[in-house]
A and B are shown apart, each in its own frame.
Chain A
Amino acid sequence: MELFRRLGSYLHKYRRYGILAVACIALETVFELVIPLIMANIIDIGVVTGDRAYIFQQGVLMCLCALVSLALGVGSAHFTALCGHGLGAELRKAEYQKVQSFSFANRDRFHTESLVTRLTTDVTTIQNALLGGMRPGIRAPIMMTTSIVLSFAINARLALVFLVAAPVLGVLLFQIISRVRPLYSKMQSAVDQVNRIVQENLTAVRVVKAYVRGEYEVEKFSEVNQNLQQVSQRSFRIAVLNMPAMQLVMYATILAILWLGGGMIAGGDLQVGKLTGFLSYVLQVLNSLMMMSNVFLLLTRAMASGWRILEVMDEPPDIGEERAQDVEVERGAIRFDHVSFKYRREAREYVLRDICLDIAPGQTVGIIGGTGSAKSTLVQLIPRLYEVTEGQVLVDGRPVWEYPLAHLRDAIAMVLQKNTLFSGTIGENLRWGKADATEEELDQACAIACADEFVSRLEKGYDTQLGQGGVNVSGGQKQRLCLARAILKSPKVLILDDSTSAVDMVTEARIREGLEKALPQTTKIIIAQRITSVLHADQIVILQDGRVDDVGTHWELLERSRIYQEIYHSQQEGAGL
């Protein structure tokens, strides 16, 4: 119930249409009940008394009713469509907005594929449940109550049969639904597993082929495939029981009424005509129950999706702006004050431990360290992509949480190691950095990032379409475009996370010089593998297993840091110059 209340709250704008839809359907149902009464008049009064005018008049009345009911039916379709698709759209929107508010840490808790499914398929399932369930869901209870009332009116004693049939059917349906429900969520995760393996095989197709693991993958797939087959078989086998269960009760009721009614007629307690009428109401009641059980099955499936969506909605975004003040980054000074960090509160080991760093505005800082020494994590704390566990990161002397996120991230540009270009033109991608950038500004940024030469060689220049993930440019070109995109922000702080690894040495050196010249005021933080990339930095930070091992200039470190010497020699060895 909680689930429906919460999902229902997303209807707000479309609630009006929902109410109108319900009204239309309810009225239409009433007409459906009235029409047989008119029909009875035609036969019982018109035909029996031979009154042709009356028959004709009632016939016209019936046609009028049919017209009204047509109008109502069209109305109900119209309003149901507005309400159902409205709910879908609002739900998607709210969920999308929620996902956007996720921090890196929140994001790490959901797989990309799973989030996408929750935003797409799950919402569609709920939307379809509303669209498909609305009509039978409203009609059935109305039909059922009216029919029960009318059948009691005809003969209360005979109607007692309902008191047996309805609970029996109710119990049967309840049993079916309560058994199917857990199976449906099992089925959903079996589907997820199958999709996961297919997805992994598509992305890692080179690995699978290189290791000739086709058969192994088929075996792996067969296992989850079989599991899916079994789980769906089990769920559907139970779900389809509702049909025969329904028929059984319906048929038994008809027979019971025939038998009991026959007895009553023989005893003179009931007229034949009444029995026929009674039987049609019985059919009505049981049909409604059938419809309702279908609606329930529909809802059961939707509920599984609903919970998955609420899981997303309930994830508390762990980076907020509660303590933000109206301040902006002015200079770009950065200080790490005894910062420690771990990805999860419950994790035992810290990823970063007691980091203290002082970076003056306009400085160039190199960060170097072994694989897995948490270099990326360290810089991601500056634009508050992750929140520190202990200590503080200060920008211009203020803790980062004092800045509104928009200002903070506008002032700090970062080129991620695992970077993404989006489908669209090169120009559109670059303008992520600055929405209203002119052609000249693009040229400038590209020149600094050394992307100008290959962009200008492209037939359509900035209007060249990139595929999803920038598949049609090479790794080095991609990195340079990502860099240009960041430069366009003219940031106070520029962070490069190993973002020129696929660019050759000469180009890299030119990029570095360009940055120095074009952005002298900007604080530059460069994570790199190559000593040459950080050589000229004002200070070089050596990270080792999440701790600062040493800080100094190239020459200082070369003199005193064993790690730095090793790195240096690993890159110089055999140079022969």
Chain B
Amino acid sequence: MARPMSYKRPKNLKKTLLRLGHYLGGHKLAMAAVAVLVVVSSGANIMGTYLLKPVINRFIVPGDLEGLLRAVVMMGIMYGLGALATLGYNQIMVRTAQQVVAQIRRDLFTHTQTLPLQYFDARTHGELMSHFTNDVDAVTEALNNSFAMLIQSFVMVTGTIVMLVVLDWRLSIIVIAFLLVMLAVILYSGRRSKAYYTSQQANLADLNGFVEEMVAGQKVEKVFHHEEADFQEFCRRNEALRQSGTRAFRYSGMMIPTVVSLSYFNYALSACIGGMFVLGGLTDLGSLSSYLVYVRQSAMPMNQFTQQSNFLMNALSGAERIFDMMDVQSEVDQGDVTLVQVRRGADGALEPCQGYTGEFAWRCPTGEGAELVPLRGDVRFHDVTFSYVPGRPVLRGVSLYAKPGQKIAFVGSTGAGKTTIINLITRFYEVEEGSITYDGIDLRRIRKADLRRSLSVVVQDTHLFTGTVADNIRYGRLDATDEEVRQAAVLANADSFIRRLPHGYDTVLTGDGDNLSQGQRQLIAIARAAVARPPVFILDEATSSIDTRTEKLIERGLDTLMEGRTVFVIAHRLSTVRNANAIMVVEQGEIMERGDHQELLDQRGRYFQLYTGQAQLS
């Protein structure tokens, strides 16, 4: 069966094979068993055909029924073994293939979790997704079918050729010559159709991308009544796919009939020359007949062999893309400072303990033993410079400090670098120049997981997971009790609307929380952060879609929760930041002003402008 696929060849065949082999390594026994069983199964098949002639000649023609019975029983045993072998290798192969593929998927996913944020920001979701779908599928397909089929058709081809040579080596020259011609045809058209399939694949990707974007943006399409134009565009791409697909299939679909016709020529030639041989006394009639049976048989496995090797090549290039992703460097983390729960001992000194005490400390390993530094939430930037694109700094020599228990706000126009500051505190990105300290410890010394555990970040684009509302809130702290989840929701002012949902806290959110309004999603995200009870809270435009009255209520709740702890707030709305202890006005990657609301107003600077922009109007 020919099917659309791109006959891509892996760049480094050997390396990819070795790594795939590594995955199969744990199944060495199974693979060996499959190889043996495939040989047995195809052997039984070939032998069966081969034995028909002697059985007929030796037992049936002379009427030796007893001998015939023996032969039939013998053949029965052989066939039985063949069928058993087929059953065996198929079952083993299915098991092995699924286990290997599941392992690959799991490793790929696990590795994905360790990749730095940069990696995701630089690629589209579709691109990353396709490793999990298309590439993994190609490997599955090959393991499911191609491996066994390749061995099988190889055995069949060689077996048939051997039989042909044994039966009549002179006649076999014709057949072998034809097989070579067929091979050439197959290889040639394989190369040609590869080009067509590549163009089909490109058109398919093009169409899929379009469909994905349009379905996702369909509400906008409706609002603008833009259906007609998009449909035209869709039809254009659809038609391009149809044409290239038709071309590709036409070409690859011709391969089988061509090979079959070649085999008829082969057949005809063999028959004529064989006939001459018989007439010339070079062979006998019986041998010729059974010889011709093999001639007929020889073409198909050949065809199958090349087709399967194409599948295999495709799988290997998929595997290569998977391995490439697995080779992407994980997030670097050389931190050895960890976060521990502590309590005050009898002598007033800190001591690590189990369970939630509300007090944390950094455990800094020293030469011998470790030192405990209480977590206070003292974050300082020392001359920090950073750029996403080299040469275009987003932050230039930023220095700032947040004292424990302070609420620090960042305001400024979009693109000024506010979110970047958060990206650096959370170490989603690494500082280029300068340094950041956290309670006096260089950020780079702190283990990333522990650093992030000490912070709760709520970002503007809230992402919820498929699952119940309670599950989504509990994401902040997995062992939170139902009561704690509810309390967090109350704090975030989400409790009342959650209780009005069809199943309350057990309502299942689907997709990306599509069935909630933007504001409601933000409320859940805040509850999720609140339940984590972190020492430091970061709100990045976290209340942008929430009305100011609700925001006020949340603020009060957070103030109680975060008593004595550090909070970072980024917002456009000045009402959100007004109560901060320190407000930083960020413009063009630099901190222009710093002070509390009143101080900044008195300065009559940028903040004053921003604020009175509103004030003038009221």
Contact = CB atoms under 8 A, between A and B. Distances in A.
Main secondary structure of the interface of A (DSSP, over half): helix
B346 to A, nearest CB: 33
Contact of A128 (B4, B464, B547): B4
Interface in A526-577: 529-532, 535, 563, 566-567, 570-577
Contacts of B169: none
Given A78-B250, A204-B463, A93 B219 contact: no
Contacts of B572: 476, 501-504
B220 A416 contact: yes
A290 to B, nearest CB: 12
A200 B56 CA distance: 66
B428 A132 contact: no
B225 A406 contact: yes
Contact of A261 (B60, B217, B502): B60
Contacts of A423: 213
Interface in B420-470: 426, 428, 448-449, 452-453, 455-457, 459-460, 463-466
Interface stretch (A81-89, A152-160, A175-183): A81-89
A28 B222 CA distance: 51
A327 to B, nearest CB: 16
B428 A244 contact: no
A85 B117 contact: no
Contacts of B463: 200, 203-204, 206-207
B234 A570 contact: no
B246 A571 contact: no
Interface string B115-152: 00100100011001100110000001000100000000
Interface string A200-221: 1111111111111111111001
B452 A208 contact: no
Given A69-B264, A198-B109, A240-B94, A251 B551 contact: no
Given A92-B238, A195-B133, A63 B220 contact: no
A229 B99 contact: yes
Contacts of A474: 414-415
B481 interface: no
Interface string A407-451: 001100110111110110000000011010000000000000000
Interface string B574-618: 110011000000000000000001100100000001111111011
A168 interface: no
A92 B56 CA distance: 57
Given A47-B275, A225-B105, A477-B414, A205 B231 contact: no
A372 B76 contact: no
- Chain B CB within 10 A, most for which of A52, A432, A503, A573: A432
A20 interface: no
Interface in B515-541: 515-520, 522-523, 532, 541
Given A225-B106, A244-B83, A86 B264 contact: no
Contacts of B559: none
A529 to B, nearest CB: 5
Given A199-B129, A209-B117, A266 B91 contact: no
A505 B572 CA distance: 8
A506 interface: yes
Given A112-B215, A225-B106, A423-B213, A255 B76 contact: yes
Counting contact residues on chain B (CB < 8 A from A), the size range is 35 or more
A347 B502 contact: yes
Interface in B246-301: 246-254, 256-258, 260-261, 264-265, 267-269, 271-272, 275-276, 278-279, 285, 288-289, 292-293, 296
Contact of A39 (B68, B133, B235, B267): B267
Given A66-B264, A263-B65, A532-B614, A371 B598 contact: no
Contacts of B132: 194-195, 198
A441 to B, nearest CB: 16
Given A368-B547, A419-B220, A504-B613, A199 B271 contact: no
A111 interface: yes
A240 B257 contact: no
Given A66-B264, A573-B578, A200 B216 contact: no
B269 A116 contact: no
B125 A505 contact: no
Contacts of B234: 93, 96
A362 B214 CA distance: 33
Nearest to A485: B224
Interface stretch (A271-279, A299-307, A517-525): A271-279
A409 B225 CA distance: 6
Interface stretch (A97-105, A329-337, A353-361, A388-396): A97-105
Contacts of A498: 518, 545
B511 A112 contact: yes
B230 interface: yes
Interface string B316-332: 00000000000000000
Q: How large is the interface on A (under 10, 10 to 19, 20 to 34, 35 or more residues)?
A: 35 or more
A370 B269 CA distance: 88
Contacts of A468: 124, 209, 213
A76 B253 contact: yes
B552 interface: yes
Contacts of B117: 205-206, 209
Contact of B285 (A36, A47, A206, A370): A47
A233 B94 contact: yes
Given A247-B82, A247-B86, A56 B272 contact: yes
A535 B546 contact: no
A77 B87 contact: no
A19 interface: no
Interface of B is mostly: helix
B79 A251 contact: yes
Which of B124, B520, B548, B551 has most chain A Cβ within 10 Å? B548
Contacts of A383: 223
A209 B452 contact: yes
Interface string B16-48: 000000000000000000000000010001001
Given A201-B112, A208-B113, A531-B618, A42 B271 contact: yes
Given A244-B84, A371-B519, A43 B288 contact: yes
Residue picked from A112, A195, A275, A573, most chain B C-beta under 10 Å: A112
Given A66-B264, A206-B463, A76 B257 contact: yes
Given A89-B241, A203-B512, A371 B545 contact: yes
A172 to B, nearest CB: 12
A489 B225 CA distance: 11
A420 B217 contact: yes
B102 interface: yes
A149 interface: no
Nearest to B97: A236
Contacts of B514: 108, 111
A398 interface: no
B457 A39 contact: no
B127 to A, nearest CB: 10
Interface in A51-72: 52, 55-56, 58-59, 62-63, 65-67, 69-70, 72
B60 A247 contact: no
Contact of B94 (A237, A413, A417, A418): A237
Given A226-B102, A420-B216, A131 B3 contact: yes
A165 interface: no
Contacts of A279: 52
A572 B549 CA distance: 11
B573 A530 contact: yes
26 contacts: A43-B289, A62-B264, A69-B257, A72-B257, A88-B242, A89-B241, A96-B234, A209-B117, A209-B426, A211-B456, A212-B449, A218-B110, A229-B102, A237-B95, A244-B86, A244-B90, A254-B79, A371-B497, A383-B223, A385-B219, A410-B225, A420-B220, A475-B541, A506-B609, A530-B575, A573-B578
**Pairs A-B, 7 closest by C-beta atoms:** A73-B257, A77-B253, A371-B519, A204-B463, A66-B264, A251-B79, A506-B613
Given A120-B208, A206-B459, 10 more contacts: A67-B261, A89-B239, A93-B234, A229-B102, A232-B98, A258-B55, A280-B293, A414-B223, A469-B216, A502-B544
